Amino acid sequence: MSQKARKLFDALDLDQDGTLTRAEVIEALRAKGPTLAAQGVIPFWGVGDDAESSALFDAADQNGDRVLTFEEFSAVVDRRFGW
């Protein structure tokens, strides 16, 4: 699990409860995505629309409980972004 994944997860965890919901991922990427890309936290091509953010969430939600742990999130973003 990469430090980049941790930094991105923490940036998306708006309520800082240690998990991510679909709404949280969509809202955070919409609000913070361009800034995170400019800071090098996420690739520019990784900043997508709401449908792409939702698809990222679905890909990461391995157990189907509708919340992402850091481990679930990291496994997907590390692979997708080549970290």
Each residue of 17-65: pLDDT tens digit? 999 999 999 999 999 999 999 998 888 887 788 998 898 899 999 999 9
Number of domains in the chain: 1
CATH number, domain of 25, equals 1.10.238.10
Q: Which residue has the higher pLDDT, 63 or 83?
A: 63
Q: What is the DSSP string of the chain?
A: --HHHHHHHHHH-TT-SS-B-HHHHHHHHHHHHHHHHHTTSS-GGG---HHHHHHHHHHH-TT-SS-B-HHHHHHHHHHHTT-
Mean pLDDT of 6-22: 96
7 has pLDDT over 70? yes
Domain of residue 15 covers 3-80
pTM here is: 0.87
Annotate 2-11 with b (16+ C-beta within 10 A) or e (fewer): eebbeebbeb
The pLDDT, as a whole number, for residue 82 is 85
The pLDDT, as a whole number, for residue 1 is 63
